[in-house]
Amino acid sequence: MTAVRTPKQPRSIQTKKRIMRAAFHLYAHKGIHGTNSREIAQKAGVSIGSFYSYFKNKKTLLLEMLEDYLNRHFLAIWKPIEKITINNMGRADIRWLIESVFAAYGISPEFHSQTHALRYSDPDINQVYERERTREVTQIQSLLESNRHRMRISDPEAAAIVIHNAVENVAHTAKFIGPKTDEKALIDALADMIYDFLIFGRQPE
Amino acid sequence: MTAVRTPKQPRSIQTKKRIMRAAFHLYAHKGIHGTNSREIAQKAGVSIGSFYSYFKNKKTLLLEMLEDYLNRHFLAIWKPIEKITINNMGRADIRWLIESVFAAYGISPEFHSQTHALRYSDPDINQVYERERTREVTQIQSLLESNRHRMRISDPEAAAIVIHNAVENVAHTAKFIGPKTDEKALIDALADMIYDFLIFGRQPE
Amino acid sequence: MTAVRTPKQPRSIQTKKRIMRAAFHLYAHKGIHGTNSREIAQKAGVSIGSFYSYFKNKKTLLLEMLEDYLNRHFLAIWKPIEKITINNMGRADIRWLIESVFAAYGISPEFHSQTHALRYSDPDINQVYERERTREVTQIQSLLESNRHRMRISDPEAAAIVIHNAVENVAHTAKFIGPKTDEKALIDALADMIYDFLIFGRQPE
Amino acid sequence: MTAVRTPKQPRSIQTKKRIMRAAFHLYAHKGIHGTNSREIAQKAGVSIGSFYSYFKNKKTLLLEMLEDYLNRHFLAIWKPIEKITINNMGRADIRWLIESVFAAYGISPEFHSQTHALRYSDPDINQVYERERTREVTQIQSLLESNRHRMRISDPEAAAIVIHNAVENVAHTAKFIGPKTDEKALIDALADMIYDFLIFGRQPE
DNA sequence: TATGAATGAGCTTTCATTCAT
DNA sequence: GATGAATGAAAGCTCATTCAT
């Protein structure tokens, strides 16, 4: 049977969080496959038995962590959106958004990249990611629609996908490569590229 | 300790290639961590003993596979470069290059993504990838330099990094998501974005 | 070390019984080794802490359950004995007894068989069973003695053992195999066999 | 993947047999659930890795052992059948058969009883046993048919079931209780009971 | 040189039991 | 008294690697 504990008491909730935080750090540093459950429990300061009373198995832990992480990721990007002039976006607004994405990728490029790679061999992970991707592309697409009158793009969905990918992955790579890169320059280049694309873009012949 | 064989006879070379091909397929389908050495040997039609006479250990196999893969990847992109008007690039040339990248990512987005994720926890893998990234960015940067007179970009290195990332990752994502995506539209959007950025781009204030 | 509670208040007694009943059902359906203590407590509607205040450990629970079960088993067989013409038994009386045994095995052939099997590796269980077996064989033997004048058996103890085994195990098997078996036919055959054996049996040469 | 080794080389076959023999002894002495795989491997003088290259898991080992055991059991009973006057059975023939059964139960009453008990919670075990039971009852029934002209039993199948159960279980119990029991007396009583039942049995009214 | 049997460290997971709240 | 969070020994099983044949 071995039902998983659904924590209600404050103590329980804290314990569960401690485990997830410990796993997060270890996964980032030693790799998901290079970290075992004992290690996670130990780092969280709980027994291995506790670990398994909060998570059915290691996979479940990973899925919960991923949902959690992607939510934080999403919020880090889109929470500051109120500061943007939604239906009259300028270069500064685009730059602001890009900076949010860079900040979001600062949470943990390691965890991001590793879980992303698991999409190929793990349908459950893939599903979580696909849901997230859709959510983000939709967000961008609706921004584009709000500014449609000023734009010349013919296919807002393709544009949203391209922009989403470009920004996310430049940010990801930048964060990974680390302080060597001139982040400011990258953000500027990206902002230019996207702004020109959206506002000055010629209609595809 | 049996020394690792450096195959010189044609038959040996064939065997080694068979092992690498078997591993490549299995890694793509079941994940690197979901594939064990017995399985690889079996699929390659050799004994596990043979496997270990060709590769010191599994890690060595992976590194050799990665070098091999990245070479194929690089060539797939840059071999058709002769067909490009190097120092007077137009939108069509850019489009052509992007198509090459998309084709290169068709080789195995699965293997690519998985090995990429290992960079965080495995310095050896990271090194191989870093070398490759530099090689590719340099390639783009030199293309930009050749067309500098027609461009207004202020920081060619940042531009090269941004373009490299944007293209590679859009291609990667497109190949992964599969036939659902309208690949043609993505390539068009990317070509527009990059062309406008390079040729019509305003000087950053 | 919290002492085990010896329940005297009615509510306590009820709780203890609830636990035993829950265990009894689970053991029968999922096997003794396939059932864990949390499951028992849950099905009984008590906390695991309560469980251990009623039973020192799982083994104690099992022993108490077994004593309980074997008492019910014994009574189910021998309570209707008053209806038998003790010292002038006929075929009908034998049949009547056999039917009681079949009924007794209806209580739980699963629990019976499982605990029986533990005799080999568990001396405590074995002791309880041995005591019970002796009690039942003695009962049969005394019935045989009461009818000795009409019988030709030379060794009443051997006869008692043989009869005891034959009846118990045919009943057990019949109950286990289930409705497929024609229980009536089995009971008839058994009654014939035993009656002929006892009343018409020739002296062993 | 982890394919199970199908032993072909003599060395392999020996190793597999050694494991099964070790398990057989341990299961009989410490109980199936009281024996772990490490212990079995150790007693067999092989590594735990070897154990699992010959058996997919512990359950598979048990099933193979059971098939093996029941075959030996069956042969021990029915191999000496040639010495019986098949279609004119007398008391001596019956006694001879009963002795075979007693001998067969001498192989391992402990293993027998324990696996038998698992029938309730394990459908695979149950299936193996049910197949065996049918095979044995059929054997007895065909013996009864061959002697039908001398018998008065009305339902050969019920008779076969009753006899089968009676003999097997008396033998089982006798072997288990051990030297305390006067085995000779039991066999005599059984032979009398069955002979009288078959040959002198009155027709059920 | 090729084979595949053998190894055993190490991993995931379970569950009887305790004890702080 | 009752609760259920916490414990950790112990079990089943995998798999990279070695080495006798």
Query: Which is nearest to C166 in space by CA: D162, D94, D182, D201?
Result: D162
pLDDT, one tens digit per residue, over A122-141 is 999 999 999 999 999 999 99
Asked which of B56, B79, B99 is the last residue of a domain, the reply is B56
Domain boundary pick from A56, A75, A99 = A56
Which of A63-67, A194-198, D14-18 has maximum average pLDDT?
A63-67
**Is the pLDDT reported for residue C3 higher than 70?**
no
Instruction: Report the C-alpha gap between B103 and B123 in whole angstroms.
Output: 28
State whether D42 and D67 are in the same domain.
no
Give the integer Cα–Cα distance in Å for D173 and D115.
15
Range of the domain at A16: 1-56
B145 interface with A at CB cutoff 8 Å = no
Q: Is residue A205 part of a domain?
A: no
pLDDT number for residue A2: 56
Quick one: pLDDT at residue B202? 44
Above 80 in pLDDT, residue D2? no
Per-residue pLDDT band for A53 (boundaries 50, 70, 90) equals very high
Most confident of A135-149, D29-43, D183-197: D29-43
pLDDT > 80? residue A108:
yes
The answer to whether the CB of C35 falls within 8 A of the CB of C26 is yes
Mean pLDDT of D38-55: 96
Q: Which residue has the higher pLDDT, A26 or D199?
A: A26
The helix (H) or strand (E) run that includes residue C44 is helix C37-44
Contacts B36 to D, Cβ<8 Å: 1-2
Q: How far is the CA of D46 from the C1' of F13 (A)?
A: 16
**D202 contact residues in C (CB cutoff 8 A):** 192, 196
> Is residue C205 domain-resident?
no
Examine the domain organization and report whether D167 and D84 are in the same domain.
Answer: yes
Residue C204: predicted pLDDT = 41
**Given a cut of 60, is residue D139 above it in pLDDT?**
yes
Q: What is the mean pLDDT of residues C170-174?
A: 76
At A26, is the pLDDT very low, low, confident or very high (cuts 50, 70, 90)?
Answer: very high
Q: Is B114 on the interface with A (CB under 8 A)?
A: yes
| Same-domain pairing of D96 and D149 | yes
Percent of chain B with pLDDT over 90: 41
- In this complex, the residue with its CA at the shortest distance from the C1' of nucleotide E14 is A2
- Does a structural domain hold residue A204? no
Count how many Cα atoms sit within 13 Å of the Cα of residue C68 in the half-sphere of its side chain.
15
Do the beta carbons of residue A119 and residue A126 sit within 8 Å? yes
Q: Is pLDDT of A172 > 80?
A: no
User: Mean pLDDT across chain A, nearest whole number?
Assistant: 85
Same domain for D43 and D113 = no
Q: Is B190 on the interface with A (CB under 8 A)?
A: yes
Residue D77 neighbours by CB under 8 Å, 6+ apart? D97, D100, D101, D103, D104, D136
| Range with top average pLDDT, C51-60, C74-83, C85-94, C185-194 | C51-60
* B49 touches A at CB < 8 Å: no
Q: Mind listing the pLDDT tens digit for each residue in D20-38?
A: 999 999 999 999 999 999 9
Instruction: Kindly tell me whether chain B and chain D come into contact, counting contact as 3+ Cβ pairs under 8 Å.
Output: yes
pLDDT at B200: 63
A19 touches strand F (CB under 7 A): no
Residue B47 within a domain: yes
Question: What distance in Å separates residue B32's CA from the closest CA in chain A?
Answer: 9
Q: Do C80 and C22 sit in the same domain of this protein?
A: no
Name all chains with 3 or more CB-CB pairs below 8 Å to chain B.
A, D
How far does the CA of C2 sit from the C1' of F2, in Å?
13
- Burial profile B15-52: b = 16 or more Cβ within 10 angstroms, e = fewer: bbeebbebbbbbbbebbbeebebebbbbbbebeeebbb
- The secondary structure of B136-177, three-state, reads HHHHHHHHHHHCHHHCCCCCHHHHHHHHHHHHHHHHHHHHHH
Q: Which of chain D's residues have a Cβ under 8 Å away from the Cβ of B38?
A: 1-3
Strand F contact nucleotides, protein CB < 7 Å? 1-20
Residue D1 is predicted with a pLDDT of: 53
Q: Are residues B12 and B80 in the same domain?
A: no
- Scanning residues 4 through 43 of protein chain C, those with a beta carbon under 7 Å from any atom of strand F turn out to be 5, 12, 15
Helix runs in chain A, H state only: 10-30, 37-44, 48-54, 58-78, 91-105, 109-118, 123-146, 156-177, 183-195
The reply to whether B42 Cβ lies less than 7 angstroms from strand F is no
pLDDT bracket for residue D9 (50, 70, 90)? low
Per-residue pLDDT, averaged over B128-152, amounts to 90
The rounded percent of chain B whose pLDDT value lies above 70 is 89
What is the CATH classification number for the domain harbouring D81?
Answer: 1.10.357.10
Residue C204 included in any domain? no
Counting Cα atoms < 13 Å in the Cβ hemisphere of C168 gives 23
- Is there contact between D100 and strand F, defined as CB under 7 Å from any strand atom? no
Instruction: Name the region of D195 (left: φ>0; alpha: ψ -120 to 50; beta: rest).
Output: alpha
Q: What is the mean pLDDT of residues C127-143?
A: 93
Are both B23 and B85 inside the same structural domain? no
Instruction: Place B2 in a pLDDT band, splitting at 50, 70 and 90.
Output: low
Q: Does C43 touch chain A (CB under 8 A)?
A: no
Question: What pLDDT is stored for residue D171 in this prediction?
Answer: 82
**Between the CA of A117 and the C1' of E16, what is the distance in angstroms?**
40
Res. B129 pLDDT band, cuts 50 70 90: very high
Instruction: List the one residue out of B117, D157, D159, D82 whose CA is nearest residue C193.
Output: D159
Q: Which member of B30, B189, B204 has the closest CB to residue A159?
A: B189
Count other C-beta atoms under 10 Å from residue C70's C-beta: 19
**CA–C1' distance C52–E18 (Å)?**
10
Instruction: Supply the pLDDT for residue A123.
Output: 92
Confidence of residue D183 (pLDDT cuts 50, 70, 90): confident
CA distance D127 to D112: 15
| A168 belongs to a structural domain | yes
**Inter-chain touch A28–B120, beta carbons under 8 Å:** yes
Confidence of residue C140 (pLDDT cuts 50, 70, 90): very high
C-alpha–C-alpha distance, residues A63 and A115, integer Å: 9
Closest by CA position to A80, among listed A105, A66, A101: A101
Q: What is the pLDDT of residue D7?
A: 61
Report the Cα D92 to chain-centroid distance in Å.
Answer: 23
The structural domain count of chain C equals: 2
Residue A12 has pLDDT above 90, yes or no: no
Q: How far is CA A95 from the centre of its chain?
A: 18
Query: What percent helix, strand, coil does chain B show, rounded to 5?
Result: 80, 0, 20
D102 half-sphere exposure, CB direction, 13 A CA radius: 22
pLDDT reported for residue C203: 41
**Has residue C183 got a pLDDT over 50?**
yes
Q: Which amino acid is at B96?
A: W
What CATH number has the domain bearing residue B15?
Answer: 1.10.10.60
- List the single residue in A30, A153, A161 with the smallest CB-CB distance to B121: A30
Q: Are residues A48 and A138 in the same domain?
A: no
pLDDT at B185: 74
Q: Would residue B204 count as lying in a domain?
A: no
Q: What pLDDT sits at residue D190?
A: 81
Domain end residue (candidates: D14, D39, D56): D56
Does the CB of B92 sit below 7 A from strand F? no
Q: Are residues B27 and B126 in the same domain?
A: no
The model's pLDDT over B48-95, given as tens digits with 9 standing for 90+, comes to: 999 999 999 999 999 999 999 999 999 999 987 777 767 778 888 889
**Residue B36 touches partner D, C-beta closer than 8 Å:** yes
Contact in structure between A48 and A41 (CB atoms under 8 Å): yes
Residues 66-95 of C with CB under 8 A from D: none
Cα–Cα distance, C122 to B44 (Å, whole number): 52
pLDDT tens for each residue of C32-44: 999 999 999 999 9
Percentage of residues of chain D with pLDDT beyond 70: 90
Summarize pLDDT for B99-122 with one digit per residue, the tens: 898 888 889 988 998 998 898 889
HEC string for C136-193: HHHHHHHHHHHCHHHCCCCCHHHHHHHHHHHHHHHHHHHHHHCCCCCHHHHHHHHHHH
Report d(CA B130, CA A177) in Å as an integer. 9
Answer yes or no: is pLDDT of A176 > 70.
no
Closest partner residue to D196 (CB to CB) among C109, C161, C201 is C201
- Quick check: is D205 in a domain? no
Same domain for D89 and D49, yes or no, is no
So what's the pLDDT on residue B205? 39
Query: Closest by alpha carbon to A54, among A103, A104, A3, A91?
Result: A3
Residue C178 sits in the same domain as residue C122: yes
- Listed in sequence order, the residues at least 6 apart from A162 whose beta carbon sits closer than 8 Å to its beta carbon are B166, B170, B186, B189, B190, B193
Same domain, B43 and B104: no
Q: Which helix (H) or strand (E) holds D54?
A: helix D48-54
How many angstroms away from the CA of C35 is the closest CA of chain A? Answer: 8
Q: What is the pLDDT of residues C34-82, one digit of tens each?
A: 999 999 999 999 999 999 999 999 999 999 999 999 999 999 999 877 7
